[in-house]
A and B are shown apart, each in its own frame.
Chain A
Amino acid sequence: MIVLLPTLAEPEHFSMVEKFLLTGLVAVSAWTFWHRFGLVLDKILKSKKDAGFHLFPIGKRVRDFVWEVLCQAKVVRERPLPGLAHAFVFWGFCAFVLVTLNHFATGLGIGFLDSAGLVGRFYFYFAAAFALACAVGILGLFVRRFLVRPKWLGEKLSWESGLIALLIFVLMATYLASFFVADGGLAVWILWWVHTLALLTFLPIIPHTKHLHLVLSPATVFLSRGGFSSIPALSGDEDFGLVAGTDLTQLVSLQAYSCVECGRCTEHCPAANTGKLLNPKEIILGLRGYLNEYGPAAEEPLLGKYNAQQAAFQCTTCGACEFQCPVGIEHLPIIVGLRRGAVNTGAWEDEYGSKLFLALERGSNALGLSASERDKFIEKQGLPIFDGTQEYCLWLGCMGSYDPKGREIVVALARVMSYLGVSYGVLRKEKCTGDSARRLGNDLLFQQMAEANLEAIAKSKVRKMVSICPHCVRTIQEDWKEYGTPPEIEHHSEFLARFADRLPKQKVEEKIVFHDPCYLGRYRNVYDEPRTVAALAGELVEAPRHRERSFCCGAGGGLAFLGEETGERVSQVRTAELVATGAQTIAAACPFCNTMFRDALAARGEGAPELMDIAQLVARELPRSKDNFCSGP
């Protein structure tokens, strides 16, 4: 069977002149590549060392590498068609490594794959299959980039991208065509040299274009910080975050040069989608521009050159960009890093921001209210004080302590816990977890908040905590680690889902749309639990953007406390999406989302759907007999 198929034709003889020419051209191409790539590598290597970076445990790195790089899973999952086209180009390249080596070796008379032999034959067919897929793939990507032109790829058409696509196509076409020509003829000679020249032209274009991701992104994925929005600890007395070139670490520089400009980050960014200055792709490219112009030893401030301070402070830290990025760029540590640089040095002057920071400096909460307001709330609701005997410590958070709607959620959860017979208590005193300070880059304040809370909690014999606020949960569990050992904490959706079979089911039909909070979904990977809980109260419908692709409410990253937004309000865009599902009820699982939607729904006027936290949905169905719900079991 295999004998009937054509074999790969090769020129039979290379003259001495040709061999010299080939050697010379390879040398020039390789030198040009290395010369250009060396500049980039030098900037990355001369960047500051990442102080807290550890290669181990290596298992996750290998898994991510296999899954995201070799399998192209993220590339395909988030944009299936172009993703698949890209995957074929990538796999084609991988299959081609051996073919290419053999190609040059043949030119020098030392070819090692015999096109007539069994192994050679098999491999050339194997590569041909990929070459075909790759050629179709690159054609598809070319059509997409130059004819369909999705706006996320940017306004500007890069001629280099066109050239690269052409070169890849030529490489594949010449390879495939070589199966259909005779050995040793003029045709195969032409094909062979066109293939060679395409390869040698391709190589030097890589380092100064986005195609650098071919070389860098496998390393970037492998060398990630290892956690979502993993904000590195500051090191030493002169580290205030990303202030100048000298603060760019090797990982940041590597990521800046890895960007492939696909624009997935921008496509999913709530700021970029509502007419704000922030564009996460431009943040990364801005750093690359800075590195190219000033380098990693420069004292020039990062903000004000290629990146604007205003843009850095428009980020809701929803993490859609970091979640989407196929080349392993960690946007959040970079954006928060730029904010740290501005806030820790006092360069950021913002009326609302200062007000928030001063409220936290002087008081205990982000809302700037007197701590006695919390005491009054606890007393009025008869919430038991945690004394070490109860199973759970119910962490109220700023919203649960001071915000009227947040308090309703706490009361609802307390009712459910009592109904379930689970013992709980609240801390006599609580300070803000420091979430907003952390995301806005105020390390001083965050440290003070984290340390004060850790100390108080250590004294109180808390074992398990539960909170209505995904921001509190994330900050306590992950961010506090920088200053001590945080207690075990979970979100109330996780708690409630465990008891789902003991909670009452609603009888009436009600369509409910659940909004995934960023800090519960992308940050904590909890998607099913709140749905399990919400489904007790009615029929679940989904918004077009849900789960990993959920669109932010606009509150995160401290933005709930900052002034009016430019452009459209993120909250109104998201609320419109939720309303358009036709659901009678919007189920939230975060008091910040709740407050944003409440305002946006109020602006819509009559006929707006009801807005409830999942705890309230459950509490609504509880028997009313237990009036003294907070006295505990």
Chain B
Amino acid sequence: MKIMVAIKQVPDRDAQVRINASAKWIEESDLQYALNESDAYALEEGLQLKEKHGGEVIVVSAGPERVGSTIREALAKGADRAIHIVCDDIGERDALSVARLLAAAMKPESPDLVLTGLQSEDLGLGQTGVIVAELLGMPHASLILQVEKTETGVTVKQELEEGWFQTIELPTPAVLTIQSGGNKLRYATLMGIKRAKTKEVRQLTATELAVDAAPVVVLERITLPKKQKSTQMLSGTAAEAAAALVQKLKFEVHVL
């Protein structure tokens, strides 16, 4: 089974993000980066499938040079080889543009299964995996917690709302976006890191992949969430105050 796992390097969850001078992206200079959490679960799922059924796990990641460390981490955890799509403008690309890069790098490999995290921790668009499926002409399922290989394809457990799950069968090749928490992640080992040194990391550029970079969604401006706390006193009888509260919750803060 040839499994390709698309992974993303994102700012560490403890990072104190600041907006950079262009106001279109965050200041990257003093940030620590880590592997996107749901991508870590996608990788784990891929590794477990390989351990059960044999085959190969290839990780694919797009981003600047710094992404190399995350790729090494994935190789250390057990991926067999990697493709690094080197692009410095990853922050300016929309989901379609990134998906095009990933799909172009994956296509020649003809994978049996493509896995990726449900969404990224930085942008949280949740679209990239789905668009990759479309570009590769493969069926897809999202929010997947478990994957079982069958004769003709895979059976997957999909998370629905309110604790419901759905079991889906789909033929392979297919694309699955993986939800966090379905497996237990493995820790990186010294042996893994040493072995990773000899594993192949192929570097490709957008030009080499001949992908149209023009984004269809343009990022205008990013802002930090505003911290606000306001207190309003509601007067009148209990019934009047309750009615006023419902009004406010419905139309001012939109939580009802």
List chain B residues, Cβ under 8 A from A605: none
Within the assembled complex, what's the spacing in Å between the Cα atoms of A468 and B186? Answer: 32
Interface residues of B in 10-56 (CB under 8 A from A): 12-14, 16, 34
List chain A residues, Cβ under 8 A from B188: 357, 361, 444-445
Query: Number of A interface residues, CB 8 Å?
Result: 24
Within the assembled complex, what's the spacing in Å between the Cα atoms of A237 and B191? Answer: 8
**Is the beta-carbon distance between B191 and A364 smaller than 8 angstroms?**
no
One of B187, B191, B194 near A361 (C-beta < 8 A): B187
Chain B CB within 8 A of A226 CB? no
**Is the beta-carbon distance between B191 and A345 smaller than 8 angstroms?**
yes
One of B12, B184, B193 near A444 (C-beta < 8 A): B193
The residue among A234, A237, A345, A362 with the most chain B CB atoms within 10 A of its own CB is: A362
List chain A residues, Cβ under 8 A from B189: 343-346, 442, 444
List chain B residues, Cβ under 8 A from A442: 187, 189-190
**Is the beta-carbon distance between A354 and B186 smaller than 8 angstroms?**
yes
List chain A residues, Cβ under 8 A from B186: 346, 354
Query: Number of B interface residues, CB 8 Å?
Result: 16
Main secondary structure of the interface of B (DSSP, over half): loop
Interface residues of A in 415-451 (CB under 8 A from B): 442-445
List chain A residues, Cβ under 8 A from B194: 237-238
Interface 0/1 of B167-205, CB less than 8 Å to A: 000000000000000001111111111100000000000
Known A-B contacts A345-B191, A346-B192; the reply to A371 vs B14 at CB < 8 A is yes
Nearest B residue to A340 via CB reads B190
Within the assembled complex, what's the spacing in Å between the Cα atoms of A593 and B79? Answer: 41
Nearest A residue to B12 via CB reads A362
**Is the beta-carbon distance between A344 and B187 smaller than 8 angstroms?**
no
Chain B CB within 8 A of A564 CB? no
List chain A residues, Cβ under 8 A from B13: 362-363, 370
Within the assembled complex, what's the spacing in Å between the Cα atoms of A120 and B186? Answer: 73
How close is A357's CB to chain B, nearest CB, in angstroms? 4
Interface residues of A in 355-373 (CB under 8 A from B): 357-358, 361-364, 370-372
**Is the beta-carbon distance between B185 and A358 smaller than 8 angstroms?**
yes
How close is A123's CB to chain B, nearest CB, in angstroms? 59
List chain B residues, Cβ under 8 A from A344: 189-191
How close is A345's CB to chain B, nearest CB, in angstroms? 5
Chain B CB within 8 A of A240 CB? yes
List chain B residues, Cβ under 8 A from A363: 12-14
Q: Nearest 4 A-B pairs (CB), nearest first?
A: A357-B187, A344-B190, A371-B14, A444-B190
Chain B residues with a Cβ under 8 A of chain A: 12-14, 16, 34, 184-194
Q: What are 26 A-B pairs with beta-carbon distances under 8 A?
A: A234-B190, A237-B194, A240-B190, A240-B191, A343-B189, A345-B191, A346-B192, A351-B184, A353-B187, A354-B184, A354-B185, A354-B187, A357-B187, A358-B185, A362-B12, A362-B13, A362-B34, A363-B13, A363-B14, A371-B14, A372-B14, A372-B16, A442-B189, A442-B190, A444-B189, A444-B192
